[in-house]
């Protein structure tokens, strides 16, 4: 039987990155003479990628952006964020222990995020967990991001896994929609950046700590 594959979201799932993401947005907003966004707003701002974060941040100040302005701001955002990617970002409790346990059991592990691939790999390396993953997929890896199911399905395939023996782990409605579209079971963490209780989005399981992930996976994979 083919080894199971676990595909994780990154921001709000494996790592608490909100402060660095919002700090970069606020640097852009301040440069443009606009008011900053509170970190507490991360639930409604983080998760769909940098372009969506920028668009929502500027919209909150009543500013719309044309495509050219967006691309300029996006490039500036990426440059600043890459230089400040781990000022306050940290793994959530239990993540490193869980990744090690799944690795020892022979699970394939991968990341599917709406970060760009280069930034995702940079952050994962700085967090010290790069060697745990068979594949890292960003929003630009396959030319389309979540909630389209293609990034998830192609990540599973690129990891050497099969969708019928895979699980998605995420923190938001985007992750749940992605998994549902791919016909892959989904486990949601309740400590991430969703703008509503994740249980209301009907994932297959909800966990509050990574120590609970193994039993949740066992339940979904039939042991």
**Tens digits of per-residue pLDDT, 163-201?**
999 999 999 999 999 999 999 999 999 999 988 899 999
Phi, psi of 52 (to 5 degrees): -65, -40
220 pLDDT band, cuts 50/70/90, is: very high
**What Å distances lie between residue 51 and 83, 141, 221, CA to CA?**
18, 16, 36
Fold assignment, 18-83:
DNA polymerase; domain 1 (1.10.150)
Helix (H) or strand (E) holding 109: strand 108-112
Catalytic positions, written as ranges: 9
Which sequence spans correspond to the domains of the chain? Answer: 5-16+89-221, 18-83
This prediction's pTM: 0.94
Residues 6+ apart with CB under 8 A from 80: 24, 27, 28
8-31 confidence digits (pLDDT tens): 999 999 999 999 999 999 999 999
123-154 confidence digits (pLDDT tens): 999 999 999 999 999 999 999 999 999 999 99
Its CATH class, for the domain covering 5-16+89-221, is: alpha beta
Q: Which two tokens stand for residue 151?
A: 């990034």
pLDDT for the residue 180: 98
From CA 2, how far away is CA 143, in angstroms rounded? 28
Report cis status (omega within 30 of 0) of the bond before 147: yes
Q: Which two tokens stand for residue 150?
A: 């293609």
Helix (H) or strand (E) holding 166: strand 166-170
Would you say the CATH fold of 18-83 matches that of 5-16+89-221? no
Give the side-chain half-sphere CA count within 13 A for 221: 22
């Amino acid at each position: 039987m083919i080894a199971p594959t676990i595909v994780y979201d990154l921001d709000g799932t494996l790592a608490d990155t909100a402060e660095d993401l919002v700090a970069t947005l606020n640097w852009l907003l301040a440069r443009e003479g606009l008011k900053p966004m509170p970190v507490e707003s991360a639930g409604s701002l983080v998760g769909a990628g940098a372009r969506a974060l920028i668009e929502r941040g500027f919209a909150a100040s009543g500013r719309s952006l044309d495509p050219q302005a967006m691309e300029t701001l996006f490039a500036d955002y990426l440059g600043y964020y890459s230089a400040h990617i781990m000022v306050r970002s940290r793994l959530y409790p239990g993540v490193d222990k869980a990744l090690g346990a799944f690795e020892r059991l022979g699970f394939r592990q991968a990341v599917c995020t709406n970060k760009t691939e280069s930034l995702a790999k940079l952050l994962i390396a700085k967090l010290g967990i790069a060697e745990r993953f068979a594949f890292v997929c960003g929003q630009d890896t396959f030319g389309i991001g979540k909630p389209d199911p293609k990034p998830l399905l192609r990540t599973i395939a690129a990891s050497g896994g099969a969708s019928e023996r895979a699980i998605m782990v995420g923190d938001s409605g985007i992750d749940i929609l992605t998994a549902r579209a791919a016909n892959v079971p989904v486990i949601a963490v309740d400590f991430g950046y969703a703008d509503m209780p994740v249980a209301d989005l009907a994932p297959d399981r909800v966990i509050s700590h990574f120590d609970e992930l193994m039993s949740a996976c066992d339940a979904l994979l039939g042991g």
